[in-house]
Structure 1
C-alpha cells in the first residue's frame, strides 16, 4: 500500500500573483525605511531653527512609518510562516494598516506642500482645487480602510474596487498637481540674476524629481489596480507610498541649509561684483542727474567746483 498522497482536486490559486507582489512591495518598503532613517537623522541635525509644530509633525510621521514597517513585515509573516502551505483565504490581520498608513502619512504631507503653494503663489484658486482632490483622496482612503475588515478574504477583494478607485485616482491627481504647481510657482520667482536663478533652478529640479517619484508610483498604482483587477500587482507601488511621501518631505526640509548657504554665496558674489565694477567719471556730462534722478543737473550745479560737485554727486549716488 502506497503512502503517497492523492493529487489535489478542485480549483487552485497561483500564489505568485497573490503573495508575490505583496512581498516585492514590502521589500521596497523596507529598503525605503532605511533611506527614511537616514533622512530623519539629517533632519535632527538641521531642525534647531524650526518651529515646534514642524518638528512634532516630522517626528509623528516617522513614528507612523516605523509602525507601518513592523505591520508590513507581519502582513507577510502571517500567511507565509504561520499559515505556510495554506491556500490564500483570509486577508492578513494587519492588512488594514496598509491603507491607513498611506492616508495618515500621505494626506498631511500633501497638505504641507499645498500650504507651500498657497504661500508662494499669487493665484490662490489652484491650491484650493488641489485641496479638494486631497480631501476626496482622504475620504476614499478612510472608506477603503473601513471596508478591509468587512471584506476579510482575498476572494472578496473586488468589493474594495469602488472605494479604492476614488482613493487612488484622487491621490494620483493630487500628487501630479502638487509637483506641477510647485515647479510653476518656483519658476515665477526667478529674478533675472544668474547667480540666484541658478539656485532656483536647482530647487525646481529637486522639487520635480522628488514629487514626480511619488506621483509616478501613485499613477502606476492606479493603472495596475484598474487593469489587473483580481491580482495584487498594484501593491508593488502602493505599499512603498508612505515612505515615498516621507522622503519627499524630509528631502525638501533637509535641502534648506544647502540652499541657504548657496543664496548667501550668491549674495556675496553679487556684492563683490558691484564693488569691483569700474567707477564712472561723475564729472562727465552724461552722468549728471538731479536729486530726483531725472537725468540732468541744474545749470548752477554744472558751474560748481570739483569738490562741491563731488559732495553733491556722492549724496545723489547714496540716495539712488
Structure 2
C-alpha cells in the first residue's frame, strides 16, 4: 500500500520518533556495556568475546551519533526544505550495513553456542552460512540505496531488502529453536540445574524475540507502507537489539552462577576457565544434617563432555 502524497508528518515524524527511541535504547545498552566491563567475568573472557562486545558497542555508538546528525540536517540545516525530505543522508541507506555489522558476528557467536551444545559442525556451518548470506545481501541493498540518493526509488529495493530481513529472521528463529532443543536435552534431573536451564531457555527466547520482531516489522512497514518512513523506526533499532541480546546473555552469567550458591547447598567447583562463555557446574548434594553424600558429575556418554556445562 503506497501513500500517494504523504505529508511531512509521515515522512519526518517517523524519523524523529525512530531516532528518539534508538537513543533511549542506546542508553540502556551503554549501561549494559558498563556492567560488562566492570564485572569480574570480563577479565576471564576470551579476547574474541571482549572484541565482539567492543565492536558491537562501537557500531551502535557511531551509528547512533550519525543518525542524531540526521535530525540536524532535516530540522536545522534544511528546515522547511520539502525537497530535502526526499533525499537520503548517508546514515539512512547505510543502516543495513551497521545492523549486519553487529548481527552477523553475534549470530555466529550464538551458532557457536549451539555447536558446543550439539557438537555438530553441520549446524554451526548452516547457521553461519545463513547469517553471512544475510550480511552480503544487506551490503548489496545498502550500496544500491546509497546510489539512489532519493527515497522515490526505494520501492525498487523492496525485493532485496525483504530478502535480507527474511534471512535475518530465519536465522534468529533457527537459533532460538536449536538452543531450545539442545538445552532441553541437557536436563540432568536435578531441580536446581534444571531450573537454571529453564532460565537460559526463556532468556534465549525473549532476547531473540525482540530482534526477530524488530526485523519483521521493518520488513512489513518497508513493503506495505511505501513512500513513508515508518520502517525507519525499526531499521534503526535492529542493530541495537542484537547488541542487547549479546550483553544480556553475557551479563546474566554471574546471576546464574549465584543461583547455585543459595543456602550453601549447591556449590561450584573451581572457577570457570575462559573457554568461550561457559558455566561449569558440579552439583554437590548434602543431607539436612550436613553430611556429604555424593558429588554428582554427569557426563555425556558420547563425547565425555560435562552435561552440566551450559553456554550462557
TM > 0.5: yes
Q: Find the aligned partners of 2:66 and 2:173 in 1 and give their Cα distance.
A: 28
What TM-score, normalized by structure 1, do the two folds share? 0.78
Q: Paired residue for 1:173?
A: 170
Q: Distance in 2 between matches of 1:221 and 1:162?
A: 13
- Contact kept, 8 Å, 2:108 with 2:127, in 1: the verdict is no
Gaps of 5+ in 2: 268-282, 294-312
Aligned mates of 1:89, 1:28 — CA distance in 2? 22
Specify the alignment match of 2:180 in structure 1. 183
Q: Note if 1:267 corresponds to 2:266.
A: yes
| Bigger strand share | 2
Map of 2:57 onto structure 1: 62
- Within the candidate set 63, 66, 73, 1:71 is matched to 66
Root-mean-square deviation over aligned CA pairs = 2.2
**Number of the residue aligned with 1:99:** 96
Query: Aligned ranges for residues 144-155 of structure 1 at < 5 Å?
Result: 144-155=141-152
In the other structure, the counterpart of 1:215 is 212
Check conservation: 1:175, 1:211, Cα contact below 8 A: yes
Query: In the superposition, relative to structure 1, how do residues 261 and 66 fare at CA in structure 2: closer, same or farther (>3 Å)?
Result: same
Shift of 1:173: 1.0
User: Out of 25, 31, 36, which is 2:18 matched to?
Assistant: 25
The 2-side partners of 1:232 and 1:89 are apart by: 10
- Corresponding position: 1:52 with 2:51: no
**1:294 match:** none
Change (3 A) 1:275 1:130: farther
* Counterparts of 2:8 and 2:176, CA distance in 1: 37
1:136–1:166 contact (8 Å) kept in structure 2:
no
Structure-2 separation of matches of 1:128 and 1:245:
20
Is 1:40 the counterpart of 2:33 in the alignment?
yes
Give 1:275 deviation, angstroms.
6.6
- Greater RCO, 1 or 2 (C-alpha within 8 Å, sep 6+): 2
Instruction: Report if aligned partners of 1:130, 1:174 keep a CA contact under 8 Å in 2.
Output: yes
Q: Distance in 2 between matches of 1:139 and 1:78?
A: 29
Which structure is larger by alpha-carbon Rg, 1 or 2?
1
CA distance in 1, matches of 2:95, 2:126: 27
Do residues 240 (structure 1) and 237 (structure 2) align? yes
1:239 is paired with a residue whose SS is: helix
**Could you say what secondary structure the match of 1:271 adopts?**
strand
Number of corresponding residues: 269
Q: Per-residue displacement from partner, 1:244-282 (whole Å, max 9, x unpaired)?
A: 111110010011111122234463484223875799xxx
Q: Is the 8 A contact 1:71 1:97 kept in 2?
A: no
Q: Is the 8 A contact 2:285 2:292 kept in 1?
A: no
Unaligned runs of 5+ in 1: 1-10, 280-320
Classify the secondary structure of the residue corresponding to 1:231: coil
Contact 1:221-1:234 at 8 Å conserved across structures: yes
Match of 1:249 among 246, 250, 263: 246
Cα separation, 2, equivalents of 1:188 and 1:52: 30
- Cα distance in 2 for partners of 1:167, 1:91 equals 20
Which has more helix, going by share of residues?
1
Going from structure 1 to structure 2, the CA distance change for 1:127 and 1:274 (only over 3 Å counts) comes to: farther
